[in-house]
Structure 1
Amino acid sequence: MTEHQWTAGLGVCDFLPHRLLAAVLLLCAFTANADELTVRGDVGHYTLNDRITYLPDGDQTIDQVTQQEQWQEKHDDSVLNLGFTDQAVWLRTSLRIPTSLTQQWYLVIPYPLLEEVDLFLLRDGQQPAFYHINRQQAERQREQAHSYQIALPLPQALSGHVDVFLRAQSATSLQVPVALWREDHLLNRFSRESLYWGVYFGALCALVIYNLFLFLSIRDSAYGYYVLYIVSISLLMLCISGVGSAWLWSGQPLLTRYALPVSTGLVSLCAVMFARSFLRWREISARWDRSMKIAATLAGILVVYTWVDPIHGALFAGLLGFLVVVLLIAVGIAGLRAGIAIARYFVLAWAAFALGASLYLLSVFNVLPVNILTNHAMQVGSAAEVLLLSFALAHRIKDERARKLAALRRQQRAERQVQDLELQSLEQAMHDSTTGMPNASLLNQQLQAVIGQDKRAALVLVNYPQVKEIASSMGHNLAESMFRELVKKLNHRLEGQTGAICLENKQPAFIAIPEFSSAAFLIELDHLTDTLEPFVEQIVGHHEVSVHTVRLPVLMNLHSGVAITPEHGDSPEILYQHALAARDRSESSKVPVQVYNKAISDFARRRLDLMTALPPAIEAGELELYLQPQMNRTGQTLVGVEMLLRWHSGQFGAVPTWEVIEIAESAGLIDLLSRYVVAQACKTMQTLRERDLEITGSINLSVQNLTNHHFVPEAMARIREHDIPTNRMIFEVTETSMMHNMESVIGSLQLIADSGCRIALDDFGTGYSSLAYLSRLPIHELKIDRCFISKMCTNRNDLGIVKNTLKLARTLNLEAVAEGVEDNATMERLTELGCHRLQGYVFAKPMPLETFCDWALEHSLS
């Protein structure tokens, strides 16, 4: 080898190591700068998630951190998520800025729940940091928020190689997504987010206003709780989204530490209260309602606790929120099974919220990756939930409207049924069931009209005593057939007579039937050409009827009384009373016709004597209460007693109760008499209770008692004074008394009902106007008059009246009491028809207290 060749070879050998060294140095330089980001001013933003390293030990200072070599690297572009922790973390990345940045740039952290963030900038890793800013300073210095996330401004005219160190800390979850944004792009993004959040919170605000209006309008607590729930959801979303930090508490990031758990607890509390009110679980399931009460109590305690310990409160709030969502979904499913149609919206709403909240929380706890779906899952879930709950409330309004319309239709049908029954009962009540002729009600109406027109007319009362005798000896059917024939002949005779007043044109009917075996008619005297007494005797003279079973004619004996208006009275009651007195004189004197005159004054004198003797008799306790039992529908069990007034006078003998009442009412003594009756009734009820007879007690009231404003309160006070259960006291009022001062009567009856006592409408079916007010009266019982009960087994019309009355009682949810049950056949028929209580001689006649107690004991042992 020549020297030149060796030299050349040596030069080649010298050249190769230098080239290799240069390549190695270049590779090292490339590797060292592999994570360095070159920032150009013409690009709007950069994502730094894949270019950062991090150091979990966040308690070190910046000086210590720059000396650390054990930085952990990220190998993907996912968000750094350390889960639920209160530890701080350091992040590091490098920037290379070839030319100075002419526009403002921001280091943006799109996670507003971070409480403390510090940014340090170093040139080539050399201390000290030439730039430092934290979140509080950035939010205080800027004039307006540029982002709903954390935005830390970079210094102006920044260039060259820059090492970025970031320290982040939060008391809840710790996520640190990092990006660089140019100011104009950040403002555009802020504008778009403002639009999205404006739509979201605007919808919530609209729902609040709408449901608040509904709450104030219809006073339904469900709408009030729903408004509170939307407000609490709004507060929660203000914390999660950063809108609250941007607009409401800018510069106070620690406020979110308290607002977040408090709003979570409020969401749980308001959700449970809304569910209780919305699904009305208090009316359906006590167990579910109790569970929701417990959850609401825990939520309320948690709201208070979070103000003391917000860090642990956030953990507890999240756990309780999870349990509440599970509870409400279970409650909704139970509601579906219970047949609550609107519960389907409820289940869908909470399922949507649960899905959104679960995705968000799983990303918070680093189970799911952080992305656009998990970041906005809570927003989408809550929006879907409030919309579905709004649909549920709207559907509820529709259902309630449908129920109200259905209830209104049912009420209308019931009212029509009541009206039909009323008309039917009124028609039957205005006519005699045996003959079909008008009864005393129509007679009184026509007589009142005659008196009002100042006409001179005569009221004639006719009685056929043989009819009742035949009824007792040969049967009611035969007696009724004979009575119908008599009435038909009498009506035919009157039809062709001048002066006879027609009571009803459709038949036509000239006579009325006050009671079985009696008839009444009116004669206008101004048109009468004959003398009154011969005319009446000619009309009502002996009638011949045939007894079909024996084919023999029977001449009917009769006696009649006549009273003339205005000479003998200016009211239907007085005329009827005088005509009745004249008829009694006709019977005693054995004359066919008797016109009332002054000679018939024994009755009036007796009434005056009785009126004088009544107050001393009350003072001396001469009047007593007799008790007649009331049995249950089968007639086997004693359930009550009616207390009937009896006066056995040493001077007058046994005075009829009706006469005592008439005297007391006409003489103004009814208040004194009724107070005495109430006092005696209270003592009687005490005695019955002492004898272990826990039954009801009924007493009768006069219409004058009901129009006296002091009587009812004093009677109620007397009952309370004797410690008598009010639900065992029954006050009976007659149907016809309802027509006197209706408003005052209803007011007194309402006071009785409000005190807990019961009210029975006595002699039902004998009046003629009270059915029109039946729905207004606070009554509990209908007492079917004995005139219908006594003939219901032998007369189809009376049976129809009883059936319709029982049907009316069931329609109005009233108890029915049949009085005048005198035989087993009637009792059995009433039992079949479902009458609640039975009263009559078939069980026992009225008896003194001690006798009754003995009877009750014997009856209970038999």
Structure 2
Amino acid sequence: MTPIRVASAATGSALGTGFLVLATLLVLLLAASVVALLVQRVRRRRHDAEARALAERLRRDAYHDALTGLLNREGFLHVAAEPLADGGAVAVVDLVLLGAVNDTLGHARGELFVRLAAERLTGAGAGVAGDGFVAARLEGDTFAVVLPRVDGRDAHRAAEVLRELLLPPYLVEGVRFEAPVVVGVAADGPWLADVPAGPERTSALLRRADVALAATRDGGEPVRCYEPSMGERAARRLRLIRGFSAAVARRDVRVDFQPVVSLGERTVIGVEALARWDHPELGLLLPDEFVPVLEATGQIGELTSFVLGEALAAARRWLDRGMRLSVAVNVAVANLGNPGFPDEVASLLVAHRVPAELLTLELTESGVSSEREVALPVLRRLHGLGCRIAVDDFGTGQSSLAHLRRLPVDQVKIDKSFVLGMGTECGDVAVVRAIVEMGHTLGLQVVAEGVERAAVRAALAEMGCDVAQGYLVSRPLPAGCFDAWLDSLDVRPREPGTAAGPRTLIA
């Protein structure tokens, strides 16, 4: 019996050891599970913290400008709602300088200027607006500021103070720049009665401040408060923007022609093509009203193409009648920034079978001066086609002689303000004489615009001015009326052996 007891004891011992091992394993597994759970919880918390940090960073990026750290437009709409809850105003500030800094020192320095402007705006705005100060960078060097708890008059005064604090020159890597600084302001008022508080009200104020800012660019005071009449003008501009393409298709847009006369021989040698818009509701619109709108919205190319086509079609019609009349078409800076523009002009010349030398492209002195480096290659290609290049409104820009020497120019047109003043202002007579002499020294043809009196025409002829146009000769006329006007003039017979057709005489 003894061996059996020994075996049982051994078996019990083995079973005890097995249970101990199993228990140990269970404890280890339980501990491992607990550790895994703890690690997972730590990781989840870390992940949650990282997710919250990422969400916060994304939220901040969505509402803030990366360059300056200020709010962006979307962030401004939300954050500005609180300080505007008790009334106030929004001011939109444009320093009008970033383009000059970029052109002079490059875009990296332009960004430096924007940061300097943002820092100055933050300091100035906090002093003007107090505890409710909120600022945002909308775009470029244009910023928005909340002026809390002020009415229209106080808002205008606060905006003037803010502007004065932003006017001192900016030093960008040793170069001094003076910012013009214009401000548009919109204050809380009855016109906001139906607009709910919050981002929607902020947006309404911001839109109207933008409208007031646009009014400062039309001249006058550098700080303008929004008025309902400005909103009417903005609505009018919007109607023009939306309706232009359809107006061209309906032929509501037309081209009138104003004759250009040789002062020496008193003959009609060409015309200037001028766009007119017969709007069904707004009446007859002149280029001064709709061209700036089209330039701002990128539709000016469509207008230029239309006028070019109409002008060259008229030139072909006159050639077929034996009259070799040049046509002058105004060209916008945006056209000169389009590398494909010379190809378009070349195609139209071929399509209408008009010699290139009968097309004159007119550009404003101020426009080409501001974008000279972009425009110059396109101008050279146009000149290479054989087209004539004219500088319009000459005498009103800056560094006129320097610009002329670099441009492929054939003609200068004296700004009509000087010509109109010749009858009463000795200074204007001196300016016109100087331009005529300078133009001839550079080998250019000189045109006087705005000739309305016979005495002025005689004085221009005495100075040696080459060409004149103005109401003394004729107002701009629709194509049919212009043809009738031509037919009413005396005609000089064509000289034998000459290629040119009959030339009309002016009394």
Q: TM-score, normalised by structure 1?
A: 0.33
SS in 2 for 1:607: helix
Where does residue 575 of structure 1 map in the other structure?
216
Where does residue 318 of structure 2 map in the other structure?
688
CA shift for structure 1 position 595: 4.0
Q: Tell me if the contact between 2:181 and 2:222 (Cα under 8 Å) persists in the aligned partners.
A: no
- Find out whether 1:780 has 2:410 as its counterpart: yes
Q: Tell me if the contact between 2:420 and 2:450 (Cα under 8 Å) persists in the aligned partners.
A: yes
Question: 1-side partners of 2:208 and 2:232: how far apart?
Answer: 18
Question: 2-side partners of 1:785 and 1:613: how far apart?
Answer: 31
Of the three residues 378, 384, 389, the one matched with 1:759 is 389
- Find out whether 1:671 has 2:301 as its counterpart: yes
Against the structure 1 CA distance between its residues 759 and 523, is the aligned structure 2 distance closer, same or farther, given a 3 Å change threshold?
closer
Give the AA of the match of 1:851. C
Q: Which string of whole-angstrom CA distances, capped at 9 and with x for unpartnered residues, describes residues 555-583 of structure 1?
A: xxxxxxxxxx998459986523385899x
Where does residue 378 of structure 2 map in the other structure?
748
Q: Which string of whole-angstrom CA distances, capped at 9 and with x for unpartnered residues, describes residues 337-367 of structure 1?
A: xxxxxxxxxxxxxxxxxxxxxxxxxxxxxxx
Q: Tell me if the contact between 1:499 and 1:523 (Cα under 8 Å) persists in the aligned partners.
A: no
CA shift for structure 1 position 773: 2.4
CA shift for structure 1 position 760: 0.4
Q: Tell me if the contact between 2:316 and 2:354 (Cα under 8 Å) persists in the aligned partners.
A: yes
Where does residue 466 of structure 2 map in the other structure?
836
Give the AA of the match of 2:404. L
Against the structure 1 CA distance between its residues 800 and 716, is the aligned structure 2 distance closer, same or farther, given a 3 Å change threshold?
same
Q: How does 1:124-273 map to 2 (within 5 A)?
A: none
Against the structure 1 CA distance between its residues 616 and 812, is the aligned structure 2 distance closer, same or farther, given a 3 Å change threshold?
same
Where does residue 726 of structure 1 map in the other structure?
356
Question: 2-side partners of 1:685 and 1:645: how far apart?
Answer: 16
Question: 1-side partners of 2:281 and 2:291: how far apart?
Answer: 18
Where does residue 477 of structure 2 map in the other structure?
847
CA shift for structure 1 position 836: 0.6
CA shift for structure 1 position 635: 6.8
Where does residue 805 of structure 1 map in the other structure?
435
- Find out whether 1:659 has 2:289 as its counterpart: yes
Question: 1-side partners of 2:182 and 2:287: how far apart?
Answer: 34
Q: Tell me if the contact between 1:581 and 1:596 (Cα under 8 Å) persists in the aligned partners.
A: no
Q: How does 1:243-642 map to 2 (within 5 A)?
A: 568=209, 574-577=215-218, 595-597=225-227, 600-634=230-264, 636-642=266-272
SS in 1 for 2:477: coil
Q: Tell me if the contact between 1:698 and 1:730 (Cα under 8 Å) persists in the aligned partners.
A: yes
Of the three residues 453, 465, 478, the one matched with 1:823 is 453
User: Runs of 4+ in structure 1 displaced over 3 angstroms?
Assistant: 448-457, 498-501, 522-525, 565-574, 578-582, 594-599
Against the structure 1 CA distance between its residues 684 and 572, is the aligned structure 2 distance closer, same or farther, given a 3 Å change threshold?
farther
SS in 1 for 2:281: coil
SS in 1 for 2:487: helix
Greater Rg by CA = 1
Give the AA of the match of 1:790. L
Q: Tell me if the contact between 1:635 and 1:838 (Cα under 8 Å) persists in the aligned partners.
A: no
Where does residue 327 of structure 2 map in the other structure?
697
- Find out whether 1:792 has 2:433 as its counterpart: no
Question: 2-side partners of 1:854 and 1:524: how far apart?
Answer: 49
Give the AA of the match of 2:466. H
Give the AA of the match of 1:700. N
Question: 2-side partners of 1:824 and 1:778: how far apart?
Answer: 33
Where does residue 17 of structure 2 map in the other structure?
none
SS in 1 for 2:473: coil
Against the structure 1 CA distance between its residues 773 and 572, is the aligned structure 2 distance closer, same or farther, given a 3 Å change threshold?
farther
Question: 1-side partners of 2:343 and 2:162: how far apart?
Answer: 52
CA shift for structure 1 position 656: 2.1
Question: 2-side partners of 1:613 and 1:524: how far apart?
Answer: 30
CA shift for structure 1 position 748: 0.8
Q: Tell me if the contact between 1:726 and 1:755 (Cα under 8 Å) persists in the aligned partners.
A: yes
CA RMSD of aligned residues (A): 4.0
Identity of aligned residues (%): 28
Q: Tell me if the contact between 1:569 and 1:575 (Cα under 8 Å) persists in the aligned partners.
A: no
Q: TM-score, normalised by structure 2?
A: 0.55
SS in 2 for 1:792: helix
Name stretches of at least 5 consecutive residues in structure 2 with no aligned partner. Answer: 1-95, 102-112, 126-160, 165-179, 184-205, 492-506
Where does residue 714 of structure 1 map in the other structure?
344
SS in 2 for 1:782: strand
Give the AA of the match of 1:641. V
- Where relative contact order (Cα < 8 A, 6+ residues apart) is larger, the structure is 2
Question: 1-side partners of 2:308 and 2:182: how far apart?
Answer: 46
Give the AA of the match of 2:328. S
SS in 2 for 1:697: strand
Against the structure 1 CA distance between its residues 602 and 763, is the aligned structure 2 distance closer, same or farther, given a 3 Å change threshold?
same
CA shift for structure 1 position 499: 11
Q: Which string of whole-angstrom CA distances, capped at 9 and with x for unpartnered residues, describes residues 646-676 of structure 1?
A: 1111122111212221121111111122111
Against the structure 1 CA distance between its residues 580 and 681, is the aligned structure 2 distance closer, same or farther, given a 3 Å change threshold?
farther
Question: 2-side partners of 1:802 and 1:578: how far apart?
Answer: 26
Q: Tell me if the contact between 2:182 and 2:216 (Cα under 8 Å) persists in the aligned partners.
A: no
Q: Tell me if the contact between 1:627 and 1:644 (Cα under 8 Å) persists in the aligned partners.
A: yes
Against the structure 1 CA distance between its residues 570 and 803, is the aligned structure 2 distance closer, same or farther, given a 3 Å change threshold?
farther
Q: Tell me if the contact between 1:578 and 1:596 (Cα under 8 Å) persists in the aligned partners.
A: no
SS in 1 for 2:258: strand
Q: Tell me if the contact between 2:273 and 2:307 (Cα under 8 Å) persists in the aligned partners.
A: no
Q: Tell me if the contact between 1:647 and 1:655 (Cα under 8 Å) persists in the aligned partners.
A: yes
CA shift for structure 1 position 770: 4.8
Question: 2-side partners of 1:581 and 1:604: how far apart?
Answer: 19
Give the AA of the match of 2:389. I
Give the AA of the match of 1:774. L
Question: 2-side partners of 1:706 and 1:523: how far apart?
Answer: 28
Q: Tell me if the contact between 2:211 and 2:231 (Cα under 8 Å) persists in the aligned partners.
A: no
SS in 2 for 1:841: coil
Give the AA of the match of 1:644. L
CA shift for structure 1 position 610: 0.9
CA shift for structure 1 position 757: 0.9
Question: 2-side partners of 1:789 and 1:777: how far apart?
Answer: 24
Give the AA of the match of 2:355. P
Against the structure 1 CA distance between its residues 581 and 603, is the aligned structure 2 distance closer, same or farther, given a 3 Å change threshold?
farther
Question: 2-side partners of 1:524 and 1:747: how far apart?
Answer: 33
Question: 2-side partners of 1:816 and 1:739: how far apart?
Answer: 19
Give the AA of the match of 1:575. T
Where does residue 128 of structure 1 map in the other structure?
none
Where does residue 650 of structure 1 map in the other structure?
280
Question: 2-side partners of 1:847 and 1:524: how far apart?
Answer: 40
Q: Which string of whole-angstrom CA distances, capped at 9 and with x for unpartnered residues, describes residues 64-105 of structure 1?
A: xxxxxxxxxxxxxxxxxxxxxxxxxxxxxxxxxxxxxxxxxx
Against the structure 1 CA distance between its residues 580 and 614, is the aligned structure 2 distance closer, same or farther, given a 3 Å change threshold?
farther
Question: 2-side partners of 1:740 and 1:761: how far apart?
Answer: 14
Q: Which string of whole-angstrom CA distances, capped at 9 and with x for unpartnered residues, describes residues 375-414 of structure 1?
A: xxxxxxxxxxxxxxxxxxxxxxxxxxxxxxxxxxxxxxxx
Q: Which string of whole-angstrom CA distances, capped at 9 and with x for unpartnered residues, describes residues 503-522 of structure 1?
A: xxxxxxxxxxxxxxxxxxx9
Question: 1-side partners of 2:221 and 2:354: how far apart?
Answer: 42
Question: 2-side partners of 1:580 and 1:643: how far apart?
Answer: 34
Give the AA of the match of 2:340. H
Question: 1-side partners of 2:371 and 2:266: how far apart?
Answer: 40
CA shift for structure 1 position 744: 2.3
Give the AA of the match of 2:356. T
Against the structure 1 CA distance between its residues 568 and 829, is the aligned structure 2 distance closer, same or farther, given a 3 Å change threshold?
farther
Against the structure 1 CA distance between its residues 790 and 653, is the aligned structure 2 distance closer, same or farther, given a 3 Å change threshold?
same
